[in-house]
Chain A
Amino acid sequence: MSAVVKLSNVHKSFGALKVLDGVSFEVNRGEVVAVIGQSGSGKSTALRCINALETIEQGSIEVCGHAIHSDKLDKRALRLDVGIVFQSYNLFPHLTAEQNIMLAPTCVRKLGKKEAKDLARECLARVGLAEKADHYPEQLSGGQQQRVAIARSLAMQPKVMLFDEVTSALDPQLTGEVLKVMEDLARGGMTMILVTHEMSFARKVATNVIYMRQGKVWETLPGHQLENPSTPELREFVGSEL
């Protein structure tokens, strides 16, 4: 089985600050990989590099056959294969939930208005928000906004979904409804890489957990093994998070 996402010895600095220090890992089709680690360990940067939002200095990244590090990278083609959801939702405030979702399918995939609308309704139903189609972002709770953001990504039918701490801004109750949506996605076979602090979610859903520390992949282990890390650093980290 060929990897959908493959990082090999990736190095990345911001000025003098080394943020990714030889990161390598692979994600196969249908796998869910949870990336955990202290704040500042380079998790977001790793995700951003996978979606070509940052350039890398050394190493290589392949995503769905796109060579991210190459000069010949077709960014828009890459963006069609990769969906990303951020902590801050980033819904477009002047558009309803439905219009937020319709925008990319009409602009990029050139769907007709009717088709795009049906697609938007379908995606909203998948995240349990069918009745909120005509609501504007400011009329929705944080958890609902985040689910709309996920639906917006889904509408582009990506092959891989990236999630960067999508529940970190939410209180526990709203966190649950977003995690539920992500769990459904995972069960549906979506390939996912998610940066998260939700250890129990990682343990339950993740095929593999990657522990990042000081810009390195410190330890990789299957999700269900999360209680039994082999490095003392991860043991301590898991202990502090649980």
Chain B
Amino acid sequence: MTYEFDFSSLLPYWREFAEGVWLTLQLSAISTVLGFVGGALCAIARADGPPWLQRVVGAYVEVIRNTPLLVQVFLVYFGIAILGIRIDANLAAVLALVVNVVAYTCEIMRAGIQSVHKAQIEAADCLGLTKTQTYWHVVLRPAIERVYPALVSQYVLLMLASSITSQISAEELTAVANRIQSDTFRSFETYIVVGLLYLALSFVVRGAFSVFGMLVFTRRRRLGTPL
């Protein structure tokens, strides 16, 4: 082993790295928000929708969970091109990630929804709450609280998996790294830096979710126990 590390040749690229980090964060944040909303709606449809809708959503979830993300990204990217719609690579990346994460969110949320006992719904019904009020206050709120840790893991994974969209030349962190290493011929060093940046991003994202969780879930903050 006589490899000589040289990180100094990467220094001039700090701005590119920073832009990559920023774009990765943006891609992840947008995909997370859309993925959560879409996933929650799909979960409601799959748990309590009409049978045909349950089957459609179920099929979608199974297809997504049993194919590689990279293939999904290509299918979305080229599919959009074939439809004759021109969108930039970053937007295509968001779309692909959303298509993917909606399916996983759906499964997690469905488990949460189904963990709410029928007697809870009956109690709300007996108190005069409408179906919608019951669904929001008695089903969704505790369901989300219960599966929050699983959702957080999924969204951290999403942030890491967003690196795959470098393949359709979305300008996120991994794509930046690919370019820098071919400029500098310092591949190992580049990916060490990128690895550390992803590690830091994971900590930041987890921390942000943790703070958000503490703000939103009063019970968890006060008791410290899972629901």
A104 touches B142 (CB 8 A): no
B145 touches A79 (CB 8 A): no
Instruction: Find A76's partner among B119, B122, B130, B142 (CB 8 Å cutoff).
Output: B130
B222 at the interface (CB under 8 A from A): yes
Supposing A76-B130, A107-B133 touch, asked if A92 and B120 sit within 8 A by C-beta, the answer is yes
A104-B145 CB under 8 A given contacts A90-B123, A92-B138, A136-B223: no
Q: Judge whether B127 is part of the interface by a CB distance below 8 angstroms.
A: yes
A25 at the interface (CB under 8 A from B): no
User: In the complex the two chains form, what is the Cα distance from A162 to B223 in whole Å?
Assistant: 33
- Kindly list chain A residues whose C-beta atoms are within 8 Å of the C-beta of B55: none
Within 8 A of A (CB), among B213-227: 217, 219, 222-223, 225, 227
* Residues of chain B contacted by A103 (CB below 8 angstroms): 124, 127, 129, 137
User: B117-142: contact bitstring with A at CB < 8 Å (1 yes, 0 no)?
Assistant: 10110111111111001000110011
Contact A51 B129 (CB under 8 A): no
Q: Is A8 an interface residue (CB 8 A)?
A: no
- Contacts A53-B122, A86-B119, A90-B122 given; does A156 touch B219 at CB 8 Å: no
B126 touching A84, Cβ below 8 Å: yes
The number of residues on chain A lying at the interface, defined by a beta carbon within 8 Å of a beta carbon of chain B, is 26
Q: Is A138 an interface residue (CB 8 A)?
A: yes
Residue A117 interfacial (CB < 8 Å):
no
Q: Is A94 close to B, CB under 8 A?
A: yes
What is the CB-to-nearest-CB distance from A21 to chain B, in angstroms, rounded to a whole number? 25
Contact with B along A78-92 (1 / 0, CB 8 A): 011011101010101
> Using a CB-CB cutoff of 8 Å, which residues 49-104 of chain B contact chain A?
none
Residue A58 is within 8 A (CB to CB) of chain B in the complex:
no
Kindly state whether residue A213 has any CB partner on chain B within 8 Å.
no
- Within the assembled complex, what's the spacing in Å between the Cα atoms of A90 and B137? 14
- Cβ B119 vs Cβ A51 within 8 A: no
- CB pair A104–B141 under 8 Å, yes or no, is no
A90 interface neighbour in B119, B128, B219, Cβ under 8 Å: B119
- B129 and A108: CB pair below 8 A? yes
Alpha-carbon separation in the docked complex, A55 to B123 (Å): 17
Between A79, A80, A93, A156, the greatest number of chain B beta carbons within 10 A of the residue's beta carbon is seen for: A93
User: Which residue in B119, B126, B142, B227 is a CB contact (below 8 Å) of A79?
Assistant: B126
Q: Which chain A residues in 109-140 approach chain B with CB under 8 Å? A: 136, 138-139
Contact with B126, one of A53, A88, A93, A136 (Cβ below 8 angstroms): A53
Having A92-B123, A94-B227, A104-B128, one finds 15 other A-B pairs with CB under 8 Å, namely A53-B122, A53-B125, A53-B126, A76-B130, A79-B126, A82-B126, A84-B126, A88-B119, A90-B117, A92-B124, A93-B142, A93-B219, A104-B129, A136-B222, A139-B223
Give me 24 A-to-B residue pairs in the complex whose CB atoms sit less than 8 angstroms apart, sorted by A's number: A53-B125, A76-B128, A79-B126, A79-B127, A80-B128, A82-B126, A90-B119, A90-B120, A92-B124, A92-B138, A93-B219, A94-B145, A94-B217, A94-B219, A96-B219, A103-B127, A104-B124, A104-B127, A104-B128, A107-B128, A107-B130, A108-B129, A136-B222, A153-B127
Pick the 8 closest A-B CB pairs, nearest first.
A90-B123, A104-B127, A79-B128, A108-B128, A94-B142, A107-B133, A90-B119, A84-B126
